[in-house]
Structure 1
């Protein structure tokens, strides 16, 4: 499967990239070295420079295998949302573990996937740019399948106009929810859109879906109630399309599920699965979780189905990303200024949390207590700490982060650490290239 799903040689070729000024985690002393050579040398953290974002190899591997096994156990497919990492190397890892394909958010991200030979792609969005529409339709000639979304009659008309003479596209009708993001806001509207797609010569209706994460941000009764009610509407829409015979494919995709509520998605949508048969398409549930492979110490730590009850449990996802920043100033009592800011660290789902402090990268660290980051500027963070805590310029602080989707996008190259062989002195065993 993997050899047909992506171009192994192009993914492996990432190791040949030469490190230089474009990679802000890499000091000048390592410029001219390839990524592959960097990994082979198993450098220590001390040979890198701050500010720095790192990934933990064992945590990523554990997370990827955990969800892959869970999906297999529950009989659902996984099309991880690649926008989280924009890393063809990590996408390939997910495909190797059985992912149906990759999900992406826009045409630029689709082009990255196609550049590395990924052939089964879902665009969790509507195509409305004329050039992107024609390009996506043309990818079928190279053996790729792109499934995009529609949520209005106007979008259907736009696609038909731009596709005239340029091929066809597979589409999913997106059911939205009040106050959510995209998607038809009513059952009747979504049903009408599906009928229009079915009647189109340029489009094939291959499924229904949407995104429940836009309707809730908590795992309390109110949040879960909103999510489950919405998912019930997705299932209802699918049932009517099936009954009317509006699907144009032998395999129908019913898709939802980010990294926060995938258990609810499967529980609510599982009854619509169908192995198919005479006159009936096969119906598959497709999850699109993306953040799980990286996880975090913030938002997802609290809301993930695997960690709501016990974030540190043996079967909970493990945070695979951390930032390392130096103290650049200690200008007044109880305040330290750190070198990492909005250009380096995520802040939209909670500010970074100080965890450890040491005298240098790779040096023995101790827990940093009674300290918090209260604000971030473009390139700096404000660390407030209690009286009696000693912090001085040059020290290194490890930060726990929240929201991988807005962490990895700030780095073109992210060192990957082996924290198992020697937890005290983690070695660099690889580097992830991102293409945001």
Structure 2
């Protein structure tokens, strides 16, 4: 984190004050500038300090109470400062999706990485092998879902001279129309034999992603999770985990972690202790649309609630007609793959007062650098006013912003989150 604080501010980082150029991020954070009169330019994406604290604490409590080990999916943010906060709140490690993301996490000191994907790239496997051999305390697990993949991994690791075996988990596919993963239990058993036949790999568990269950509902998701647990028990009975001191069973996106908690509580006693590994990542920032609608806390409200942490502040550039206005934020700034942004607050350029948008005030379209607003004719929106947009889908928000201020509710910027995509 000290290294991140020493990075110099320049033209690479949109939204930051032009007069802060040359300062380090740590120096700018120490100035406690206001988003609204401290020189920040629009559009500017902001993370709420209070919402982050709330969400971090909630999932720390939830996973502890349900006996789950937590490795939140870091590909959501690719932000080492947020990795550090998650680890400080009890996370076992960080989940990533591709080897580049593993390299970023490792470079910033993450010692336990769950790579929730197949890896067959020889260059990536050489890098993984070097890290495993160089650091006996470094842990990395990844998926396998084919005999061909096992062969490619073994060839690459042996060619690199890797001495320490790479831990792998068999990925069980979530259905015929799902993404990656083995489709049948018989194929899983054959794959386990293939892993056992090569010295470069060690089978330590099973995993998958219940969010890919076709036509997902509680009954179908619970049924697939029970298949995953039964697969682990079958492999254990066949002696396939004899070389590991802990059996990994992992699932858990951000839509069904309540089902994961339910089913993982039913895991029978196996030949070794079980690591019940949850990987939900979108909880950290939540959102104002997609994840707000699908959060498990909607189904079990007694467990708590998550807070949206993102606000994209943009300015009104034009109001060419009484019912139309344009903001200076567009596709380059806001996600739009799961839903358009929507206005949640308006800040007057005249007096700094903040109010709720009028009913019918909405974003109807995004251009590259403009948000199209539909506004009621009586809405007192003026050119120069600031509009806060709530966003949908954090996974495609972070990748648009290499540097994001973290601010308190009063607008004071307290730190900066650097992303690496």
TM-score tier (shorter) = over 0.9
When the two structures are aligned, how many residues end up with a matched partner?
Answer: 411
How far apart are the structure 2 equivalents of 1:281 and 1:406?
Answer: 39
1:13 is the counterpart of 2:3: yes
Give structure 1 regions of 4+ aligned residues with deviation exceeding 3 angstroms.
307-310
SS state of the match for residue 399, structure 1? strand
SS state of the match for residue 280, structure 2? coil
Alpha-carbon spacing, 1:349–1:362, altered in 2? closer, same or farther (3 Å): farther
How far apart are the structure 2 equivalents of 1:253 and 1:35?
Answer: 39
Aligned to 2:263: 268
1:155 is the counterpart of 2:149: yes
SS state of the match for residue 350, structure 1? coil
Q: Is the 8 A contact 2:62 2:303 kept in 1?
A: no
1:307 is the counterpart of 2:303: no
Q: How does 1:17-28 map to 2 (within 5 A)?
A: 17-28=7-18
Gaps of 5+ in 1: 1-10, 420-424
Q: Is the 8 A contact 1:216 1:224 kept in 2?
A: no
Q: Is the 8 A contact 2:72 2:278 kept in 1?
A: yes
Q: How does 1:248-397 map to 2 (within 5 A)?
A: 248-272=243-267, 274=269, 280-308=271-299, 315-360=304-349, 363-369=352-358, 370-397=360-387
1:120 is the counterpart of 2:131: no
How far apart are the structure 2 equivalents of 1:386 and 1:69?
Answer: 44
CA displacement 1:351-381 (0-9 Å, x = unmatched): 1011111223992211112111111122111
| Cα shift at 1:243 | 0.6
CA displacement 1:247-284 (0-9 Å, x = unmatched): 1311111000011111101111222264x6xxx22111
| Cα shift at 1:308 | 4.5
How far apart are the structure 2 equivalents of 1:136 and 1:45?
Answer: 41
Gaps of 5+ in 2: none
Alpha-carbon spacing, 1:361–1:185, altered in 2? closer, same or farther (3 Å): farther
Q: TM (normalized to structure 1)?
A: 0.91
1:427 is the counterpart of 2:412: yes
Q: Is the 8 A contact 1:307 1:317 kept in 2?
A: no
Alpha-carbon spacing, 1:326–1:216, altered in 2? closer, same or farther (3 Å): farther
SS state of the match for residue 14, structure 1? helix
CA displacement 1:122-149 (0-9 Å, x = unmatched): 1000111110011112211232211010
CA displacement 1:175-225 (0-9 Å, x = unmatched): 0022111111122112211221122211100110101112268xxxx5222
Task: Tell me which moved more, 264-273 or 201-210.
Answer: 264-273
1:407 is the counterpart of 2:397: yes
How far apart are the structure 2 equivalents of 1:182 and 1:122?
Answer: 16
Aligned to 2:185: 187
Match of 2:166 among 159, 169, 181: 169
SS state of the match for residue 364, structure 2? strand
How far apart are the structure 2 equivalents of 1:360 and 1:151?
Answer: 56
Alpha-carbon spacing, 1:84–1:284, altered in 2? closer, same or farther (3 Å): same
How far apart are the structure 2 equivalents of 1:395 and 1:329?
Answer: 10
How far apart are the structure 2 equivalents of 1:356 and 1:232?
Answer: 44
Match of 1:137 among 124, 129, 143: 129
1:223 is the counterpart of 2:217: yes
Q: Is the 8 A contact 1:330 1:336 kept in 2?
A: yes
- Aligned residues: CA RMSD: 1.7
How far apart are the structure 1 equivalents of 2:346 and 2:86?
Answer: 34
How far apart are the structure 1 equivalents of 2:2 and 2:335?
Answer: 29
SS state of the match for residue 363, structure 2? strand
